[in-house]
Structure 1
Amino acid sequence: MDLGKLADVQMGYPFRSRLEHDPQGDVAVIQMKDIDDVNLVHTDEAIKVTLPRGKEHHLLRAGDLLFRSRGRSNGAALVSGDVGTAVLSAPLLLIRPHGVLPDYLCWFINTPATQAQLAALSEGTSVRMISAEALKALDIPLPTAAAQQRIAQAAALAERERSLMAQIAAQRQRLTTHILMLYAHHIPKKAHP
């Protein structure tokens, strides 16, 4: 089923001028730099602004997906409940699911096969971009809600395993380096003539 039938897709908030941090601002502005390589949203260093009155419908909600419409990666990040009061900045696209489980949709968009399909849809020469219309036309397989839930849970567990394995590898490397450094400092020194 087309994504446009399962979710609202729209461009992030179009700020009319250069973003300036407002120390009194109460709304975090999520930009490309605030989404990391594993599609997690970080608002701790986001620019703060005061959103004009009447624009509250642009505020992010838990379950929204933030889509990188341009750049080397066109992944989606799932908004969790701890993002706080935030708005998405253009050129990022906001995907607000209403006919599909957000976790499942996020997983599906980020799979290698879907990423390859999205790369084929991108337009432009120097900066490749995926339009909201092209994204709306993306075909999404729609299993039952229970199956979507199981797929999303399995994907989350696989990601957790990948993260733990990376942490284990980093700790093993630190331990090996530490042991070798101890050994290097305690082996007998070669006698000089």
Structure 2
Amino acid sequence: MTQTTQTALISSIADVRTGYTFRERISENKHGNAHVLQLKDARQIWEQTNSATINVDKLPRIFWDGKSKAFAEPNSILLPSKGSYLRASKLVSNQDSLPTVVSGQFLTLKVKDSAKQHIHSDYLCWVLNQPETQRLLAESSQGTKIMMLSAKAVKDVTIKIPSLETQTKVMHLNEMWEKEQKLINELLINRQKMVQGTVQQLLKETN
């Protein structure tokens, strides 16, 4: 039986909302009662791991006394809404994790219950990071000095949705690629340390 790929507006498969707009400078505190995600954190995690997964337990903490509706649900997809960096990430946590407040630098996407039988959240994150979708998002951004991506613009983007079986295969391949990239990065870092150590030793010998 031939499995077909369908297309759908993001608005039909996911709820999209903006993150929380902090009125004052965010004060991190390691003893805080909630985690916080800022754009700098998401970008740093990607640069260090080449992974679209963000573990909330690795994020900074803050003291939060606001409403719980500002918390991002586990498995939410986080899409930067300001600037040229548009790489999506997926928020993961465990039962013991503190809640997470996502800053207004992001749009939060959550797969609708009615769409869970058609699309995995991992696949949604993956497809948002593909060149074709990234181009559509960039074209939908507005602004002269700072590019802004609105929730409406994201909702109007159309993506391709293959069968759940195909999505699972795609995510398996992507997971293997991410692990390979992580190993390569670790090898490069170790190699750099070895070279730097050798250079320092040579410099000592010449003095």
Bin for the TM-score computed over the shorter chain? 0.7 to 0.9
Cα 1:176–1:26, aligned 2, differ >3 Å: closer, same or farther?
closer
CA distance in 1, matches of 2:53, 2:61: 13
Q: Which stretch shows the higher mean deviation, 27-36 or 175-184? A: 175-184
Query: Taking every aligned residue pair, what percent have the same amino acid on both sides?
Result: 25
Count of aligned pairs: 184
CA distance in 2, matches of 1:148, 1:106: 11
Write out per-residue CA displacement over residues 91-147 of structure 1, whole angstroms, 9 at most, x where no aligned residue.
Answer: 411100132211111111112232122111111100101110110111111111121
1:147 pairs with 2:166: yes
- Paired residues for 1:17-36 under 5 Å: 17-19=23-25, 21=27, 26-36=33-43
1:171 pairs with 2:190: yes
Q: Which stretch shows the higher mean deviation, 146-155 or 56-65? A: 56-65
Cα 1:22–1:51, aligned 2, differ >3 Å: closer, same or farther?
farther
Highest relative contact order (Cα 8 Å, sep 6+), 1 or 2? 2
Equivalent of 1:106 in 92, 106, 125 = 125
CA distance in 2, matches of 1:40, 1:9: 19
More strand by share: 2
- For normalisation by structure 2, the TM-score amounts to 0.77
Alignment-derived partner of residue 8 in structure 1: 15
Alignment-derived partner of residue 87 in structure 1: 101
CA RMSD of aligned residues (A): 2.5
Alignment-derived partner of residue 85 in structure 2: 73
Give unmatched runs, 5+ long, in structure 2: 1-7, 47-51
> Higher Cα Rg: structure 1 or 2?
1
The ranges of structure 1 where at least 4 consecutive aligned residues each deviate by more than 3 angstroms after the TM superposition are: 19-25, 39-44, 179-187
- Look up the equivalent residue of 1:90 and give its one-letter code: G
- Look up the equivalent residue of 1:63 and give its one-letter code: N
Give unmatched runs, 5+ long, in structure 1: none
